[in-house]
Amino acid sequence: MTLTDTGPLVAIVDSNDANHQRCIEAARAITLPLITTVACFTEAMYLLGRSAGAPGQNALWEYRNIQMLQVTDLATAELDRAREYMRKFQDVPCDFADATVLVLAERLGSKFVLTLDGHFNAYRVRGKALTLAPGPRST
Residue 139 lies in a domain: no
Q: What is the pLDDT along the chain (139 residues), one digit of tens a residue?
A: 999 999 999 999 999 999 999 999 999 999 899 999 999 999 999 999 999 999 999 999 999 999 999 999 999 999 999 999 999 999 999 999 999 999 999 999 999 999 999 999 999 999 999 999 998 765 4
Residue 123 lies in a domain: yes
Provide the whole-model pTM.
Answer: 0.94
| Range(s) of the domain holding residue 124 | 2-134
Asked whether the CA dihedral 100, 39, 63, 15 is positive or negative, the reply is negative
User: How far apart are the C-alpha atoms of 93 and 88, rounded to whole Å?
Assistant: 9
Q: How many domains does the chain have?
A: 1
Measured in residues, the chain has a length of 139
User: How far apart are the C-alpha atoms of 31 and 55, rounded to whole Å?
Assistant: 26
Report whether the peptide linkage leading into residue 33 is cis, meaning its omega lies within 30 degrees of zero.
Answer: yes
Residue 127 lies in a domain: yes
Residue 87 lies in a domain: yes
Residue 54 sits in a domain whose CATH number is 3.40.50.1010
